[in-house]
Chains A and B, each alone.
Chain A
């Protein structure tokens, strides 16, 4: 079922139309995410869930890891990480969701893309959180570099790859004139 766009947006170039819809969705979803109800009902529970899963993985790798709420701590070095809003992969997921919804494709293709893409982004985010915990135990400067720069780029690359693979998987568009 093709998703149509009514009104003046039809008059725009497809790339411009994509950018306009993508930007509007991104801004709307991101601002919605910052509102107290979204924080209370969506973001915080999701952050807690990410912390819970990260704790399970970290304890699987090192059973001595102490998990208290959203904090993972090493009893030897006393290094710990606390998963807070901003560490939960929600912003990356919003970017991917906005890019998929904005691109002209069927509802089913968008739905499948969003579900699979969200799993891919959140899966890598779990790797990010757990790896940062172990990197921090080893070296604080390495933790800072990985936390502030390297993992940010890797998550973004993940979003881009998922989106490009999704584009490749879409059926070729039929030429209306042909």
Chain B
């Protein structure tokens, strides 16, 4: 992609590809939720001393069932929307499809694979952030002040930086021969 005209042509192709990619992600992306949810449970339980009992996959969100008791004999549950953390994946797919580099299938597959750790990271800190606010006793005993600060920073990265940046960086890296000078 040697000149500016080609860059704009590539951009036009990105805009055209992003619509079907977004539709695909919106209607099919939740199929990845069971895997992302299980990954998140693993991360949360490592940090949170086994606080999550299980995760349930719903039509629009993941529900994490904790071991923390609440009034009335129940346990605390936390909901998280995986889409908030995965919108960058269809964008990255559009970037690759617009560049159409050699070996496009494995490059697209690699981008899709980023969806799992990306969603797991975002959901992990989303859930931990909710637990910090909802269960101060557990927070003090398990995370401590520095742990709670780390959760806040992890949440900010997971919600504001990583969802867009990571898939885009992977896509640009995988298409660099076409996008670069």
Q: Which residues in A have some Cβ–Cβ distance to B below 8 Å?
A: 15, 26, 30-31, 34, 86, 91, 95, 148-150, 152-153, 155-157, 160-161, 164-165, 167-168, 172
Contact = CB atoms under 8 A, between A and B. Distances in A.
A148 B83 contact: yes
A153 B164 contact: yes
A150 B152 CA distance: 25
Contacts of A167: 180-181
Contact of A164 (B7, B22, B84): B7
Interface residues of B, number: 32
A34 B149 CA distance: 11
Contact of A148 (B18, B22, B87, B152): B87
24 contacts: A15-B173, A30-B160, A30-B161, A34-B153, A86-B160, A95-B161, A148-B83, A148-B87, A149-B22, A149-B26, A152-B88, A152-B163, A152-B164, A153-B18, A153-B87, A153-B88, A153-B90, A153-B164, A156-B165, A156-B168, A160-B95, A160-B168, A167-B180, A168-B7
Contacts of A164: 7, 179
Interface string B152-181: 110011011101110010001100100111
B115 to A, nearest CB: 14
Interface in B141-156: 152-153, 156
B1 to A, nearest CB: 9
A15 B179 CA distance: 14
B4 interface: yes
B11 interface: yes
Contacts, number: 59
B18 to A, nearest CB: 7
A157 B176 CA distance: 16
B93 to A, nearest CB: 11
B97 to A, nearest CB: 14
Given A161-B11, A164-B7, A156 B156 contact: no
